[in-house]
Chain A
Amino acid sequence: MPAIVAAGLERAFDEVLAVQGVDLQVKAGEIYGFLGPNGAGKTTTVRMLTTLLLPTGGSATVAGHDVATEAREVRASIGVALQEAALDPLMTGRELIRLQATLQGMPTAEGRRRADELLERVDLVAAADRRVGTYSGGMQRRLDLAAALVHEPRVLFLDEPTTGLDPVSRKTIWEEVRALNDGGTTVFLTTQYLEEADQLADNVAIIDRGRIVAEGTPGSLKAEIGNPHIRLALEEGSIVEAERACAGIGKLLPPVDGNTVLVEVANGAADIPLVVRALDEAGIEVGSLELVHPTLDDVFVAKTGHHLEGEGEETAEEAVEA
Chain B
Amino acid sequence: MTQRLLLNLRVVRALGMRSVRQTFRRPQLMAPIVVFPTLLLAVQTGGVGAAVNLPGFPPVDSFLQFMLAGGIMQSLMLAGNSGGIAFAVEIETGFTDRLFSSPIPRSTIVLGRLVGTGALGLFASLWFLAIGLAFGVTIAGGVAGALVAIVLSTASALVFGSIGAAIALRTGSASVVQGLFPLVFVVLFLSTAFFPQDLMIEPAKTIAAYNPFSFIVDGIRDPMISGISVTETLEALLAIAGIGLFGLVLSARALRHRVRTG
Instruction: Give A contacts to B, CB under 8 Å.
Output: 47, 50-54, 72-73, 75-76, 78, 80, 82-84, 86-88, 90-91, 95, 99-100, 102-105, 131, 147
Contacts and interface: CB of A to CB of B under 8 A. Distances in A.
Contacts of B99: 103
B38 to A, nearest CB: 23
B25 A82 contact: no
Interface string B6-21: 0100110011001001
B98 A72 contact: no
B97 A52 contact: yes
A229 B212 CA distance: 76
B129 to A, nearest CB: 28
B90 interface: yes
Given A47-B262, A88-B22, A88-B90, A103 B95 contact: no
B93 A52 contact: no
Contact of B103 (A53, A76, A88): A76
Given A90-B25, A100-B98, A75 B103 contact: yes
A86 B26 contact: no
Given A51-B101, A52-B101, A75-B102, A105 B94 contact: no
A47 B95 CA distance: 14
Sorted nearest first, the 4 A-B pairs with minimum C-beta distance are A53-B262, A103-B102, A76-B103, A86-B94
Interface in B101-136: 101-104
Contacts of A72: 103
A146 to B, nearest CB: 13
A131 B101 CA distance: 23
Nearest to B261: A53
A84 B94 contact: yes
A83 B99 CA distance: 15
Interface in B74-102: 90, 93-95, 97-102
Contacts of B230: none
Contacts of A99: 14-15, 18
Contacts of B102: 75, 100, 103-104
B98 A91 contact: no
A108 to B, nearest CB: 8
B103 A102 contact: no
Among A52, A75, A80, A131, the most chain B Cβ lie within 10 Å of the Cβ of A52
Contact of A105 (B7, B95, B98): B7
B259 interface: yes
B139 to A, nearest CB: 35
A99 B15 CA distance: 8
A84 B18 contact: no
Contacts of B22: 88, 90-91
B173 to A, nearest CB: 14
Nearest to B262: A53
A105 B97 contact: no
A72 B21 CA distance: 28
Among A75, A84, A99, A100, the most chain B Cβ lie within 10 Å of the Cβ of A99
Given A51-B101, A72-B103, A91-B18, 13 more contacts: A53-B262, A73-B103, A80-B101, A86-B93, A86-B94, A86-B95, A88-B90, A90-B21, A102-B11, A103-B11, A103-B14, A103-B99, A105-B103
A105 B11 CA distance: 8
Given A52-B97, A86-B97, A90-B21, A104 B10 contact: no
A157 B14 CA distance: 25
A115 to B, nearest CB: 13
A50 B26 contact: no
Contacts of B90: 88
24 contacts: A53-B262, A54-B259, A54-B262, A73-B103, A75-B102, A78-B101, A80-B98, A80-B101, A82-B94, A82-B97, A83-B94, A86-B97, A87-B95, A88-B22, A88-B90, A91-B22, A95-B21, A99-B14, A102-B11, A103-B11, A104-B102, A105-B7, A105-B104, A131-B25
Contacts of A86: 93-95, 97-98
Contacts of B95: 86-88
Interface in B23-69: 25-26
Given A52-B262, A90-B21, A90-B25, A102 B98 contact: no
Contacts of B26: 90
B29 to A, nearest CB: 10
A215 B98 CA distance: 29
Contacts of A73: 103
B43 to A, nearest CB: 31
A232 B169 CA distance: 53
B100 A52 contact: yes
Among A102, A104, A147, the most chain B Cβ lie within 10 Å of the Cβ of A102
Contact of A147 (B10, B14, B98): B98
B10 A102 contact: yes
Nearest to A80: B101
Contacts of A103: 11, 14, 98-99, 102-104
Nearest to A107: B10
Contacts of B262: 47, 52-54
Contacts of B261: 53
